[in-house]
Amino acid sequence: MKIIAVANQKGGVGKTTTTLSLSAALAEKGVRVLLVDVDPQGNASSALGASGEKGSLYHALIGEKPAAEMVYSTRIENLWTIPATLDLAGAEVEVARMEGHLTQLRRVLSPLKDLGLYDYLFLDCPPSLGILMSNALSAADEILVPIQCEYYALEGLGLLMQVTEQIRASGANPDLSLCGLLMTMYDGRTNLNPAVVKEVRNHFQEVVFDTLIPRTVRFAEAPSHGRTIIEHDPAGQGAEAYRALAGEFLERQKKGVAFVSGATAHH
């Protein structure tokens, strides 16, 4: 079981959409995915219909209940979730008081590895660089970074890379690597979006996924229907893009391609 954190401290860049859609696209291919919602807003949890009535990530994180008991099945075959509820915001304070507070999430999730029930565990990260995000980065094998195709796309990315380097250097997670950068909300009809993609590709080269996620209003509709794009508009270009991403993701995983910030590191 590999743990992938979908992270970018900027809000609204497509983290939750990517976590949900990529997880659903992988599940459709028969890959067993556990989506762990690390954002107290709980948007991914709502889309999957997990309300947290038997408990949530909060209870696992503070050590009240085993993570395995907080797993909910979803209406999608091969896709499970540990949901987040608003009380997760309060966990930041409680976790901060614990010894080894950076690695609490890693400890809590590690028994799931031995169960052999999931191939990938995806962490939907919150839009901040707080304790929850640091815990997600410490727990992850790899980070997948969605980047919105806009003028200031790369703003803040340096900071994320710096935090990643700190987590590595602190010894909390020395092997943390970058799975790839994903350009989201691409609109080819503007001059700006293709220029931004070109700039990001120049800068990060093969770290950037070939797959571009198009901007389509279908994404905004999907969560309000409490469904992922794969269910809401299965034949649409959004669903097709995330299926392509799932293929590209698995291809990279098979080849063992991962990156240390900008430089390629095969392992």
> Which residues here bind Mg ion, judged by CB under 5 A?
15-16
Q: Which is nearer to Mg ion, 11 or 262 (CB)?
A: 11
| Residues contacting residue 37 through CB under 8 Å, at least 6 positions apart | 43, 44, 45, 57, 81, 82, 83, 84, 124
Structural contact between residues 11 and 218, judged by C-beta atoms closer than 8 angstroms: no
Which span (97-105, 114-122, 172-180, 211-219) binds ligand ADP, by CB under 6 A?
211-219
Q: Which is nearer to Mg ion, 150 or 194 (CB)?
A: 150
Residue 121 touches ligand ADP, criterion: CB under 6 A: no
Give the C-alpha distances (Å, rounded to integers) separating 82 from 86, 95, 121, 225, 230.
14, 18, 10, 20, 20
Applying CB under 6 A, among 4, 9, 15, 24 the residue interacting with ligand ADP is: 15
Judged by beta carbon distances under 5 to 8 A according to partner kind, the member of Mg ion, ligand ADP, none in contact with residue 208 is: none
Q: For residues 112 and 178, give the distance between their C-alpha atoms in angstroms, rounded to a whole number.
A: 22
Q: Which is nearer to ligand ADP, 52 or 238 (CB)?
A: 238
Which span (9-17, 80-88, 170-178, 246-254) binds ligand ADP, by CB under 6 A?
9-17
| Max Cα-Cα span within the chain | 52
Residue 213 touches ligand ADP, criterion: CB under 6 A: yes
Least distance between Mg ion and beta carbon 230 (Å):
18
Structural contact between residues 197 and 186, judged by C-beta atoms closer than 8 angstroms: yes
Residue 11 touches ligand ADP, criterion: CB under 6 A: yes
For the record, the structure tokens of 194 come out as: 């293709």
Judged by beta carbon distances under 5 to 8 A according to partner kind, the member of Mg ion, ligand ADP, none in contact with residue 83 is: none
Residue 13 touches ligand ADP, criterion: CB under 6 A: yes
Q: For residues 250 and 248, give the distance between their C-alpha atoms in angstroms, rounded to a whole number.
A: 5
Closest CA to 122 of 218, 212, 246: 246
Residue 152 touches ligand ADP, criterion: CB under 6 A: no
Least distance between ligand ADP and beta carbon 212 (Å):
10
Helix (H) or strand (E) holding 196: helix 192-204
Residue 173 touches ligand ADP, criterion: CB under 6 A: no
Task: Say which DSSP state 144 is in.
Answer: E
Q: Which is nearer to Mg ion, 84 or 112 (CB)?
A: 84
List residues near ligand ADP by CB under 6 A: 11-17, 43, 127, 184-185, 213, 215-216, 219-220, 223
